[in-house]
């Protein structure tokens, strides 16, 4: 299906973004920019202990402070909860506990126990310091890895601390293969807790008009309609009485897909306050309580034959859910195991995943939430190559799928098609000149310098058809002046969704891009939609716009044909002008003239054509998912004295099908890649043994800066998907492929020293630790 | 207990983007909050409020500073330029702003005002930077979307554009 | 993340400032550039009833050559001013070279020389530079002026010889002349972060190519910046070309008490990095002394 009307004038081009002028001049509208009459400000009192019984809360002194409006505790707000579940997860799927404020027990440092409401945030913080909470400390369950064996429970009704488990066939089924295999390689790699950390923290403004029973919410969100449905259910008011507005959201990366406990508190409190209530999370709160991700380990095993052919693979995976995950990790968590086989021919295998409560910040979604499948597999492949004495590239070449072998399914039954793993792999290696790098590496080693190269090739399901995500709507209204507005649900957090939609609409209708504007992120105005997430916006909005614009385009041509007195088939409509085929010189009709007929000369419309030029459509994807793939290749130098890892070259070869806007595609890859680099080398939401977080400022939680990041080179391979326009999602992939490639590069650099990497992140001190450990190990064996 | 800073306020005079403002403020009000709340200039963003992320960077008497680490009272009698003040009177983008757009140097836009202000100050002091100097100069601002690729390219382009303008000008 | 309330004072001269500090006692804190203080206030790790702002104290700003042997730098001089100063670059090269390591340029446009010294963070560059060059610090209190040698100034993590009502007004940096070499090396997680470990080296060679002055400073490796005095003493009179830089690094970092341990590195790791930084700084300083 070609969703374009006439030539693609804008799709595929590096169209300048329509969002940029306002964002560059400081005139965007983020949630903290919202000011309402009499607006009040919230600040949370948070637990300083990882686990404690709450014996009492004294708010009297706080209430006496000038400017303090109210102090809410759990008994004030929690009974107001009517119904609490996420559309994304579904009503009937098992979920984890989620009280707005902590009740009898606090379960992590940062757990909200009270909410102060005051005339401004300064005073609210003063008052929060005056709230006295009487805690009785309890022994916390800090380390998820030992939580299953702990005598203590994070939630009393889950005594074993197990949120849930998922898996394929029994591990024991594979025993015969592993027993017979000439080579078995296994390793356990621990990945540290880190997270999305958008530059804009969480935030919400809620204003309730009691007389009319109307709630208006401004939120930093990826999914305004999810916020609306959630709020309506929470407060027990009708969905159409809730309006959620978001214009600009300062990054989401999965973190802002779902409302969390603090948002619930603001919604519940706003319904009882005379004015709007604003909560803007500060950075310390964010690093304490906005959630963590990627905190997991797994024992990965592979059986190989003498030629390096993979016979079987298994993964025994355990992930930290924290105290209050958003949502339950069990449903989405299965992806780690399902995708573990990756782009390789692996005849059989299985996995097990367990999700475990701990007294730490709750798990949230983070861009490519199943990234550990690649981390476990790709690092294991490099270990296998070293064990077998093969070059890791050669080992992959012997096992990696190429286009000709498709369609196929991995051993978990995931059906792969329209992907090009081997092609991206070869393209990336060519861009690097892999052989030349290996020669350089040999020379460097002779000089006592440690250079390394690492790769990661992955396949990724995008635009998945879960019930919430399977449809997307678009409304296109051509105004009487001929100017076009396209309405979609929105939820853009930097994903360039406005530009994407404008490009697609201009081409689908056949009008000039300057004549198209878009309205997004207001549930009162736009079609219903699930927002951004799951790398869905490109393919899904393309489907919605293609269908809706196609309908309008037919109407435009019918009106023009009627006026020009030619058959419809003879009407050309390009760049907002219609004329009879073969007679472009003759006076045709502009879109404004056609719109004038549609709105004001209804009698002149052809029979059967409705008045006006507005259409709405909803695309329902017939595809369970749309596969995308990429290869990341990274080279580095490691200083074995300080442990510093310096990235030298970074290459991504990707296949997202045809690109709607190459700048946007590359921008998504760049950003995701650097988040992965951060995860591999810098970022760590660390806790001490008592459950105290020790990286709650940007001086300790280290985001990469411009000097930690190399130039990223991008190559494109284009395999159209079966979806609209052949497009695929591209939002998440960069964050999947990068960390494993970096880890492999470091391991490769240090391979001559016998280094084995078992824990992340690869900080300078941990790299030195691995080098020392290898020296000790080898000294013992010698 | 009374809130001490409601009684203890100070009158200050600040020129913000060329406009003279006289305001009575509490001493603990940060310059960032003064600009956002008192002046309604919401382009100055708060990303960390402890001086690391750079989203609140403004020019104070011409020098780039963290507006979260300056109290409004400390800007008394000073000249402040925010991102809003870098744009031309009809909304035309400055050289730096235009380069960011041209090179996809922004995505969510939250860190962007801080980058634009920092880069403006940096190029004023070092109009012909090396690539290495550009990266070093950008380390005082954090971005979570772009991986800095588009930003580095934008600064390079802005420097080159400005350099060209100089050489093409009257000799 | 908003600071607790305080009363603000903006004295017009140093005498008024120290008068206020004396009058207000430990409820008061002087604020210069505020680049270390304000984050602590914002995080409510610290709060003070009174802030005494030094912004109007013009007498505290400036970089002046005082006689042949000294450069005076006012305590209120910003790090950005030091970075732009030809005088500082020519006469106190180690100070000039240390400056770009301090935070980011947006920090240096507010941060001051005196603020950095008085804050006395153990991982900060300026205290190590002052210590290495044997700078003398000028202080003013209601009791009058006094001069404090850098070696006596740093008394612990975030603590100095300054009394509560005493203000740092300036620093006299000795101008080292002759065949000198100066170097600073530090290792940080990211550009602009506090150093995991760092080292400063200043040395001078006599006509025969032997060391007749030598100073090695360490920072980030204890509660305060320190000098490796035993190592220095052993090196005096030697030919620097015959010295083993790695051995100097090891010796300089030997026997350090209370090296910090945190998320970014254990004490042994920091010590190892410190030794490497000494070695690197040593080599560069020697090269400069030999070849200019």
Is B74 at the interface with chain C, CB within 8 A? Answer: yes
Q: State the helix-helix crossing angle for A734-750 and A764-781, rounded to 10 degrees.
A: 40
What distance in Å separates the CA atoms of residue B84 and residue B99, rounded to the nearest whole number?
16
Q: What residues of chain A, 648 to 707, have a C-beta less than 8 Å from chain B?
A: 663-664, 666-667, 670-675, 697-699, 703, 705-707
- Which of C104, C107, C115, C119 is the best substitution to test chain B (most B C-beta atoms within 10 A)? C104
- Which of B72, B102, B147 is the best substitution to test chain A (most A C-beta atoms within 10 A)? B147
- Does this model's pTM top 0.95? My answer is yes
User: What number of CA atoms fall less than 13 Å from residue A149's CA on the CB side?
Assistant: 3
Is B61 at the interface with chain C, CB within 8 A? Answer: no
Nearest CA-CA partner of A308 in A185, A175, A172, A428: A185
Exposure string of A472-511, with b = 16+ CB inside 10 Å and e = fewer, is: bbbbbbbbeebbbbbbbbbbbbbbbbbbbbbbbbbbbbbb
Q: Chains touching chain B at 3 or more Cβ pairs under 8 angstroms?
A: A, C
The answer to whether C263 contacts A644, with C-beta atoms less than 8 Å apart, is no
Q: Extract the tokens encoding B122.
A: 């940096």
Query: To the nearest whole angstrom, how far is the Cα of B52 from the nearest Cα of chain A?
Result: 6
**What sign results for the dihedral spanned by CA atoms A694, A698, A703, A706?**
negative
* pLDDT tens digits for range C173-185: 999 999 999 999 9
β-sheet bridge partners, residue A716: A654
The answer to whether A26 contacts B43, with C-beta atoms less than 8 Å apart, is yes
Contacts of B111 in chain C (CB under 8 A): none
Question: What's the pLDDT score for residue B164?
Answer: 62
Mean predicted confidence (pLDDT) in A280-305: 98
Yes or no: say if A642 and A704 are a contact pair by the CB < 8 Å rule: no
Is B146 at the interface with chain A, CB within 8 A? Answer: yes
* pLDDT tens digits for range A154-191: 999 999 999 999 999 999 999 999 999 999 999 999 99
Q: Is ipTM strictly over 0.95?
A: yes
Question: What's the pLDDT score for residue A5?
Answer: 43
- Which of C106, C107, C115, C189 is the best substitution to test chain B (most B C-beta atoms within 10 A)? C106
The answer to whether C34 contacts B73, with C-beta atoms less than 8 Å apart, is no
Query: To the nearest whole angstrom, how far is the Cα of A283 from the nearest Cα of chain C?
Result: 8
What distance in Å separates the CA atoms of residue A673 and residue C57, rounded to the nearest whole number?
48
Sorted by sequence, the CB contacts under 8 Å of residue A335 that are 6+ apart come out as A369, A370, A373, A461
Residue A237 has pLDDT above 60, yes or no: yes
List chain B residues with pLDDT less than 50.
1-6, 165-171
Contacts of A122 in chain C (CB under 8 A): 2-3, 5
- Which of C6, C106, C190 is the best substitution to test chain A (most A C-beta atoms within 10 A)? C190
What distance in Å separates the CA atoms of residue A203 and residue A205, rounded to the nearest whole number?
7
Query: To the nearest whole angstrom, how far is the Cα of B171 from the nearest Cα of chain A?
Result: 32
Question: What's the pLDDT score for residue A2?
Answer: 37
Contacts of A64 in chain B (CB under 8 A): 1
Contacts of A129 in chain C (CB under 8 A): 4, 44
Yes or no: say if A284 and C1 are a contact pair by the CB < 8 Å rule: yes
**What sign results for the dihedral spanned by CA atoms B53, A675, A759, A326?**
positive
Sorted by sequence, the CB contacts under 8 Å of residue A212 that are 6+ apart come out as A241
The answer to whether C105 contacts B73, with C-beta atoms less than 8 Å apart, is no
Is A537 at the interface with chain B, CB within 8 A? Answer: no
β-sheet bridge partners, residue A319: A296, A355
Instruction: Identify the closest residue of chain A to B150 by CA–CA distance.
Output: A667
Percent of chain A past pLDDT 90, that is, above it, reads: 97
- The closest CB to that of C266, out of A641, A684, A765, belongs to A765
Per the listing, tokens 């849930």 go with A164
- The closest CB to that of B49, out of A61, A282, A667, belongs to A282
Question: What's the pLDDT score for residue B7?
Answer: 55
Question: What's the pLDDT score for residue A8?
Answer: 80
- Which of B64, B113, B135 is the best substitution to test chain C (most C C-beta atoms within 10 A)? B64
What distance in Å separates the CA atoms of residue C75 and residue A619, rounded to the nearest whole number?
67
Kindly report the average pLDDT of chain C as a whole number: 97
Query: To the nearest whole angstrom, how far is the Cα of C77 from the nearest Cα of chain B?
Result: 14
Instruction: Identify the closest residue of chain B to C52 by CA–CA distance.
Output: B74
How does DSSP classify residue A697?
A: S
Domains of chain C: 7-53 (3.30.43.10), 58-174 (3.30.465.10), 179-291 (3.30.390.50)
Is A481 at the interface with chain B, CB within 8 A? Answer: no
Is B101 at the interface with chain A, CB within 8 A? Answer: yes
Q: Chains touching chain A at 3 or more Cβ pairs under 8 angstroms?
A: B, C
Domains of chain B: 4-86 (3.10.20.30), 95-168 (1.10.150.120)
Is B66 at the interface with chain A, CB within 8 A? Answer: no
Question: What's the pLDDT score for residue A7?
Answer: 62
Mean predicted confidence (pLDDT) in A679-703: 98
Instruction: Identify the closest residue of chain C to A693 by CA–CA distance.
Output: C263
- The closest CB to that of A283, out of B47, B104, B116, belongs to B47
Query: To the nearest whole angstrom, how far is the Cα of B8 from the nearest Cα of chain C?
Result: 7
Yes or no: say if A335 and A370 are a contact pair by the CB < 8 Å rule: yes
- The closest CB to that of B69, out of C2, C39, C190, belongs to C39
Is B145 at the interface with chain A, CB within 8 A? Answer: yes
A6-10, A304-308, C75-79: least confident range: A6-10
The answer to whether C192 contacts A705, with C-beta atoms less than 8 Å apart, is yes
Contacts of A666 in chain B (CB under 8 A): 104, 149
Mean predicted confidence (pLDDT) in A457-465: 96
Tell me the C-alpha to C-alpha distance, in Å, between residue C199 and each of C122, C186, C274. 12, 6, 7
Q: Extract the tokens encoding B68.
A: 């979260």
The answer to whether C106 contacts B57, with C-beta atoms less than 8 Å apart, is yes
What distance in Å separates the CA atoms of residue A275 and residue A265, rounded to the nearest whole number?
15
The answer to whether B45 contacts A32, with C-beta atoms less than 8 Å apart, is yes
Q: How confident is the model at residue A782 (pLDDT cuts 50, 70, 90)?
A: low
Q: How confident is the model at residue A4 (pLDDT cuts 50, 70, 90)?
A: very low
Residue A42: phi and psi, rounded to 5, are -105, 150
* pLDDT tens digits for range A94-141: 999 999 999 999 999 999 999 999 999 999 999 999 999 999 999 999
Yes or no: say if C230 and C213 are a contact pair by the CB < 8 Å rule: no
Judging by DSSP bridges, how do beta strands C159-160 and C154-156 pair with one another?
antiparallel
Residue A206 has pLDDT above 70, yes or no: yes
- Which of A44, A642, A699, A770 is the best substitution to test chain C (most C C-beta atoms within 10 A)? A642
Mean predicted confidence (pLDDT) in C33-42: 97
Domains of chain A: 20-28+471-620 (3.30.365.10), 34-138+200-250+256-289 (3.90.1170.50), 296-465+623-781 (3.30.365.10)
The answer to whether A23 contacts B84, with C-beta atoms less than 8 Å apart, is no
Query: To the nearest whole angstrom, how far is the Cα of A311 from the nearest Cα of chain C?
Result: 41
- Which of A19, A20, A26, A496 is the best substitution to test chain B (most B C-beta atoms within 10 A)? A26
* pLDDT tens digits for range A485-516: 999 999 999 999 999 999 999 999 999 999 99
Query: To the nearest whole angstrom, how far is the Cα of C261 from the nearest Cα of chain A?
Result: 11
Nearest CA-CA partner of A367 in A249, A222, A202: A222
Q: What residues of chain A, 369 to 428, have a C-beta less than 8 Å from chain B?
A: none
Beta strands in A504-601 (DSSP E): 516-520, 571-574, 577-580, 589-590
Yes or no: say if A531 and A515 are a contact pair by the CB < 8 Å rule: no
- The closest CB to that of A707, out of C2, C191, C263, belongs to C191
Yes or no: say if C170 and C61 are a contact pair by the CB < 8 Å rule: no
Is the bond preceding A761 in cis, omega lying within 30 degrees of 0?
A: yes
Is C134 at the interface with chain B, CB within 8 A? Answer: no
């Amino acid at each position: 299906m070609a969703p374009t009307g006439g030539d693609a004038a804008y799709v595929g081009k590096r169209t300048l973004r329509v969002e940029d002028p306002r964002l560059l001049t400081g005139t965007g509208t983020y949630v903290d920019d919202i000011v309402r009459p009499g607006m009040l400000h919230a600040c949370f009192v948070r637990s300083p202990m990882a686990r404690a019984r709450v014996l009492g809360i004294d708010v009297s002194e706080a209430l006496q402070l000038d400017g303090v409006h109210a102090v809410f505790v759990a008994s004030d707000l929690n009974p107001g909860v009517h119904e609490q579940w996420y559309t994304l997860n579904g009503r009937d799927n098992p979920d984890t506990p989620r009280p707005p404020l902590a009740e009898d027990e606090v379960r992590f440092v940062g757990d909200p126990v009270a909410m102060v409401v005051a005339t401004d945030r300064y005073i609210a913080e003063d008052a929060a310091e005056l709230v006295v909470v009487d805690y009785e400390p309890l022994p916390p369950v800090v380390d998820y890895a030992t939580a299953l064996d702990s005598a203590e429970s994070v939630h009393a009704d889950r005594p074993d601390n197990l949120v849930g488990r998922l898996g394929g066939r029994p591990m024991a089924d594979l025993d015969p293969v592993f027993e017979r295999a000439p080579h078995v390689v296994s390793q356990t790699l621990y990945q540290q807790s880190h997270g999305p950390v958008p530059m804009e923290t969480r935030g919400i403004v809620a204003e309730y008009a009691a007389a009319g029973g109307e709630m208006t919410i401004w939120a930093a969100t990826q999914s305004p309609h999810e916020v609306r449905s959630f709020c309506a259910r929470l407060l027990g008011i009708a969905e159409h009485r809730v309006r959620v507005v978001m214009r600009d959201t300062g990054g989401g990366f999965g973190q802002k897909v779902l409302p969390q406990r603090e948002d619930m508190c603001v919604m519940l409190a706003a319904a009882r306050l005379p004015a709007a209530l604003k909560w803007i999370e500060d950075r310390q709160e964010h690093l304490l309580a906005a959630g963590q991700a990627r905190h997991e380990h797994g024992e990965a095993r592979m059986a190989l034959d003498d030629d390096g052919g993979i016979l079987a693979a298994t993964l025994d995976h355990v992930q930290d859910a924290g105290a209050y995950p958003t949502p339950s990790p069990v449903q989405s968590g299965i992806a780690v195991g399902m995708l573990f086989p990756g782009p390789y021919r692996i005849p059989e295998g299985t996995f097990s995943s367990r999700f475990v409560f701990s007294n730490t910040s709750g798990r949230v979604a983070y861009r490519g939430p199943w990234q550990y499948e690649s981390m476990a597999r790709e690092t294991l492949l490099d270990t296998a190559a070293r064990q077998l004495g093969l070059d890791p590239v050669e080992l992959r070449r012997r096992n990696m799928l190429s286009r000709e072998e498709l369609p196929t399914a991995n051993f978990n039954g995931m059906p792969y098609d329209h992907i090009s793993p081997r092609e991206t792999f070869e393209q990336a290696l060519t861009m690097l000149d892999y052989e030349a790098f290996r020669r350089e590496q040999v020379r460097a080693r002779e000089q006592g310098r440690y250079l390394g190269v690492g790769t990661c090739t992955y396949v990724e399901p995008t635009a998945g058809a879960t019930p919430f995500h399977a449809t997307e709507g678009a409304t296109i209204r051509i105004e009487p002046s001929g100017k076009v507005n396209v309405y979609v649900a929105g939820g853009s957090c930097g994903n360039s969704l406005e530009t994407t939609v404008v490009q697609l609409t201009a081409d689908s209708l056949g009008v000039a891009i300057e004549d198209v504007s878009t309205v997004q992120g207001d549930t009162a105005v736009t079609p219903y939609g699930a927002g951004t997430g799951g790398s869905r916006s490109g393919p899904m909005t393309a489907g919605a716009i293609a269908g809706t614009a196609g309908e309008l385009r037919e109407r435009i041509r019918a009106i023009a044909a009627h006026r020009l007195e030619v058959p419809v088939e003879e009407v050309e409509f390009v760049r907002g002008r219609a004329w009879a085929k073969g007679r472009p010189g003759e006076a045709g009709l502009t879109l404004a003239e056609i719109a004038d007929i549609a709105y004001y000369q209804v009698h002149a419309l052809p029979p059967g054509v409705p008045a006006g030029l507005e259409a709405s459509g909803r695309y329902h994807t017939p595809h369970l998912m749309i596969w995308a793939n990429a290869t990341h290749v990274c080279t580095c130098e490691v200083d074995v004295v300080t442990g510093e890892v310096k990235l030298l070259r970074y290459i991504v070869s990707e296949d997202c099908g045809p690109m709607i806007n190459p700048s946007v595609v590359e921008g998504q890859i760049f950003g995701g890649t650097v988040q992965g680099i951060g995860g591999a080398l810098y970022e760590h939401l660390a806790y001490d043994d008592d459950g105290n977080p020790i990286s709650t400022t940007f001086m300790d939680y280290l985001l990469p800066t411009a000097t930690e990041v190399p130039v990223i080179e991008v190559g494109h391979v284009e395999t159209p998907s079966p979806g609209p326009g052949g497009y695929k999602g591209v939002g998440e992939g960069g964050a999947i492929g990068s960390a494993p490639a970096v880890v492999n590069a470091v391991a490769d650099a240090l391979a001559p020293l016998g280094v084995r990497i078992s824990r992340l992140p690869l900080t300078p001190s941990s790299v030195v630790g691995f080098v020392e450990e290898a020296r000790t190990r080898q000294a013992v064996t010698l | 207990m009374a809130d001490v800073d409601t009684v203890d306020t100070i009158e200050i005079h600040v020129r913000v983007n060329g406009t003279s403002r006289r305001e009575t403020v509490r001493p603990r009000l940060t310059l960032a909050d003064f600009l956002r709340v008192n002046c309604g200039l919401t382009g100055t963003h708060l990303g960390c409020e402890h001086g690391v992320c750079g989203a609140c960077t403004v020019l104070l008497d011409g020098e780039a500073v963290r507006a979260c680490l300056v109290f409004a009272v400390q800007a008394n009698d000073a000249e402040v330029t925010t991102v809003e003040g870098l744009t031309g009177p009809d909304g035309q983008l400055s050289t730096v702003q235009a380069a960011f757009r041209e090179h996809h140097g922004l995505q969510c836009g939250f860190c962007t005002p801080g980058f634009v202000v920092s880069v403006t100050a940096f190029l004023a002091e070092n109009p012909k930077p090396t690539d290495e100097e550009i990266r070093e100069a950008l380390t005082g601002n954090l971005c979570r979307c772009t991986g800095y690729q588009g930003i580095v390219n934008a600064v390079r382009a802005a420097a080159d554009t400005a350099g060209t303008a100089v050489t093409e000008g009257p000799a | 993340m908003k600071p607790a309330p305080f009363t603000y004072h903006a004295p017009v001269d140093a005498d008024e400032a120290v008068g206020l500090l004396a009058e207000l006692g430990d409820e008061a804190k002087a604020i210069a550039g505020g680049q270390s203080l304000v984050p602590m206030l914002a995080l409510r790790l610290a709060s003070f009833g009174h802030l005494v702002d030094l912004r109007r104290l013009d007498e505290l700003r400036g970089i002046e050559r005082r006689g042949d042997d000294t450069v005076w730098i006012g305590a209120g001089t910003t790090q950005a001013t030091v970075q732009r100063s030809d005088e500082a670059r020519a006469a106190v090269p180690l100070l000039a070279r240390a400056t770009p390591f301090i935070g980011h340029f947006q920090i240096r446009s507010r941060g001051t020389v005196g603020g950095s010294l008085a804050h006395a963070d153990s991982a900060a560059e300026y205290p190590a530079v002052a210590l290495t060059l044997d700078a003398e610090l000028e202080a003013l209190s209601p009791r009058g002026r006094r001069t404090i040698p850098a070696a006596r100034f740093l008394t612990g993590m975030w603590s100095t010889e300054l009394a509560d009502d005493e203000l740092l007004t300036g620093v006299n940096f000795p101008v080292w002349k002759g065949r000198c070499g100066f170097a600073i090396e530090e290792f940080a997680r990211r550009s602009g972060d506090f150093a995991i470990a760092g080292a400063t080296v200043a040395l001078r060679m006599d006509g025969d190519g032997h060391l007749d002055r030598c100073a090695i400073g360490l920072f980030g490796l204890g509660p305060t910046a320190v000098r490796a005095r035993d190592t220095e003493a052993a090196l005096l009179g030697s030919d620097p070309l015959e010295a083993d830089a790695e051995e100097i690094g090891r010796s300089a970092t030997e026997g350090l008490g209370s090296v910090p341990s945190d998320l970014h590195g254990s004490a042994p790791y920091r010590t190892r990095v410190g030794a490497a930084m000494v070695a690197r700084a040593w080599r560069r300083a020697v090269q400069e002394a030999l070849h200019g």
